[in-house]
Amino acid sequence: MKRVKLALLGFGNAGQAFARLLCEKHDKIKQKYGCEVEVTAIATNSRGNLVSADGIDLEKALLDLAESGRFKDEQSLSAMSTMEIVKNADYDVLIEMTPLNIFTGQPAISHIEAAFERKKHVITANKGPIAWKFAELKEAAEKAGVKFFYETTVMDGTPVFNLVDKTLQMAEVTEVSGILNSTTNFILEEMAAGVPHEEIMERGRRMGFIEADPAMDIEGYDAAAKITALLNVLMDAHITPDMVERKGIEDITVDDIREAESRGNVIKLVCRGVKEKGCVKASVRPEEIPKGDMLASVNSTTSVVSITTDLMKKLSVIEHEPEIEQTAYGVFGDLLRVLGE
C-alpha cells in the first residue's frame, strides 16, 4: 500500500490536535484513499525533534508530551534543526504550523520555499507566508508541480478559500469584509457588558485565546494579516500587511461603547478589502455597526467573512466560537485534498 509521509513543523495545541485526528481517522483514510499516512518528522521549538523514515508513533509522542512536556522516543529523537528537517528529512507533505511572525512571515516562508525546491507538497496553517509572499509561493508551487493549501490561515477550518475555489468558479470577487479577530470581538463585547479590563484579560487567557501580550490583536496587526491573506488569495491583490490602513481597539473606551449604544449601534473591529479601478484597498478599523446588522450579532469568539462577487453577489460564512479542533480539521481537510487530487 502507498505511504504518504508527513513532516510537521510545530507541535503546539493545533499540531497535537491534528495528530489526534490522524490517529482517529487512520483506518478511514486507508479505506477511502488507499494509502497509509505516516508522520516521519516533527519539529518543535522546545520539546525536541523527532525524525524517523519508518514513521513516528504519534500516540506515544502525544503521551510523552502530556506526561513530561518533551519527546522521549530515543530511537527517533534528532539533533536536526527545523530547516535541516525541511531540507533533508524523508516526507511527501510539509505541514507548516510554526509560530507566526506577523511582521515578516519568516521563517515559515523559507521553510515552504525549501520544501518546494524539493518538489514537496505544502500545507500551511501559518498566515504569514500568505500575507507576505503568496503570489511568489503560489508560482513556486506551480513550477514544482506540487500542491499548496492554506485553508487554516483565516477562520481556522472554515472553508472560505475552498468555497470560492470550488463553488464560485468564474465569479470575480470584488469585496471582502468581516470580523476576523476573535480576541478583539470578545474584548469589546465584555467591555459593553461592564466587565473590568483585567477580568476580561484573565478570562480570555484562561480560555486560551488571549496571549500574555495581546498587542498584536488589540492593535489590529492580526486582523491586518488575515485580511491581507484573504485578499491575496481571493482577489489576487499582491499586497502585504503594512499596506493595510490599520487602527485597532486600543483607544476604544467604555464611554465610546456607551455613546454608540445610545445611537443604537455596537462597536466592532471590521476588516475590509475593496477593488477600485483595478487596485485593492484594505482597512482594519473599529466601526459603529447598527444593532440590526448581521455584523452586530457576531458575538464572543465567533468570526464572519462576507464575500461579494459579480455573479453571486454577497455571501457570508460564520464560524461559531471555534476551538482548537476546528484548526486541526482545517489542516486535516487540506491533507485530504492532497490525497484526493
Residue 291 a catalytic site member: no
Name the residue among 296, 305, 291, 220 with its Cα closest to residue 262.
291
Taking residues 122-127, report their average pLDDT. Answer: 97
For the domain that residue 134 is a member of, what is the CATH number? 3.40.50.720
C-beta separation of 317 from 305 below 8 A: yes
Output the pLDDT for position 272: 98
Q: If you average pLDDT over residues 15-20, what whole number do you get? A: 96
d(CA 10, CA 80): 14
- Tens of pLDDT, residue by residue over 177-191, are 999 999 999 999 999
- Report DSSP letters for 126-175, one per residue: -HHHHHHHHHHHHHHHHHHT--EE-GGGTTTT--HHHIIIIISTTPPEEE
207 in the same domain as 126: no
Dist CA 83 CA 64 (whole Å): 24
State CA 258 to chain mean position distance.
Answer: 33
Nearest to 269 by CA among 174, 333, 180: 180
According to the model, what pLDDT value does residue 133 have? 98
Q: 183 and 118 in one domain?
A: no
Mean pLDDT taken over the chain:
95
pLDDT of residue 337: 96
Q: What does DSSP say about strands 2-9 and 93-96: parallel, antiparallel, or unpaired?
A: parallel
| Measured distance CA(21)–CA(239) in Å, rounded | 34
- Whole domain around residue 329: which residue ranges? 2-157+324-340
pLDDT digits (tens, 9 = 90+) for 20-69: 999 999 999 999 999 999 999 999 988 889 999 999 999 999 999 998 88
pLDDT computed for residue 73 by the predictor? 73
Count: domains in the chain: 2
User: Same domain for 296 and 282?
Assistant: yes
Flag whether pLDDT at 85 surpasses 80. Answer: yes
Same domain, 108 and 132: yes
Residue whose C-alpha cell reads 484548526 in the numeric block: 327
Rounded Cα–Cα distance for residues 273 and 288 (Å): 18
Q: Are residues 182 and 283 in the same domain?
A: yes
Catalytic residue among 120, 127, 133, 226: 226
CATH number at residue 177: 3.30.360.10
pTM equals 0.94
